[in-house]
A and B are shown apart, each in its own frame.
Chain A
Amino acid sequence: EVHLVESGGGLVKPGGSLRLSCAASGLTVGQAYINWVRQAPGKGLEWVGRIESKADGGFTDYGAPVKGRFTISREDSKNTVYLEMNSLRTEDTAIYYCSSGYWNYDWGQGTLVTVSS
């Protein structure tokens, strides 16, 4: 059974940085597609980005609102995927979820990021 746990959320000032973690069990992150999706308070789902499996090249891509500011990476030894977020804006305030698989089969519980002065 796949289990994903996000952590690292919290309160950060505009312009600041934060790194979210997605710790996985039941799968090997290097062999998996891992996605990040966010949801602002009271709003719909928004795609943040994805890292493809190593076998498929490990390609990453991002949604337009975060491209150039957010970076997805993985640490195989910890079986963890990271979302590095820089130059944070108030509009980045959201619950951030990671999910696994090409089709987003399994999801974590999410971690809340609040960007506010």
Chain B
Amino acid sequence: DIQLTQSPSFLSASVGDTVTITCRASQGIRNYLVWFQQKPGKAPKLLIYSASTLQSGVPSRFSGSGSGTEFTLAISSLQPEDFATYYCHQLNTYPFTFGGGTTVEIK
């Protein structure tokens, strides 16, 4: 199975900061990667698909990049509503897998 390693697992940031989350795959997954945001008690929400395509309705301060084995989710000018847990997820090879998650908390 393909392992996805997210880093950091936790980060503390302030409103207005720019943060970056990395997702590394144990083998190449082309660009078959998505990023989700999840808030407590809620279902995940799709932010980015195909590694870098912004889902409709998602603010442009979110961006994704990468291909192969290394991917990045960047959030510029962090807003209060962005404090949540973020997950990467690969859909290149069955069985699909998720990263362990990155929790972004208010400093």
Residues of A participating in the B interface, judged by any CB pair closer than 8 Å: 37, 44-47, 50, 61-64, 67, 97, 99, 102-105, 107-110
- Mask: chain B, 75-92; 1 = CB below 8 Å from A; 0 = not: 000000000010101010
* Given known contacts A103-B34, A103-B49, A104-B34, A45 and B43 CB-to-CB distance under 8 angstroms: no
Instruction: Give Cα A105 to B47, complex, Å.
Output: 9
Instruction: Give Cα A62 to B46, complex, Å.
Output: 21
* Number of chain B residues close to chain A: CB under 8 A: 23
Judging by beta carbons under 8 Å apart, are A45 and B36 in contact? yes
Judging by beta carbons under 8 Å apart, are B43 and A108 in contact? yes
* Given known contacts A45-B36, A46-B98, A103 and B91 CB-to-CB distance under 8 angstroms: yes
Q: Which residues of B contact A46 (CB under 8 A)?
A: 98
Judging by beta carbons under 8 Å apart, are A105 and B97 in contact? no
Q: Which residues of A contact B50 (CB under 8 A)?
A: 103
Residues of B participating in the A interface, judged by any CB pair closer than 8 Å: 1, 34, 36, 38, 43-46, 49-50, 55, 85, 87, 89, 91, 94-101
The chain A residue with its CB closest to the CB of B48 is A103
Judging by beta carbons under 8 Å apart, are B1 and A64 in contact? yes
* Given known contacts A104-B46, A105-B55, A45 and B95 CB-to-CB distance under 8 angstroms: no
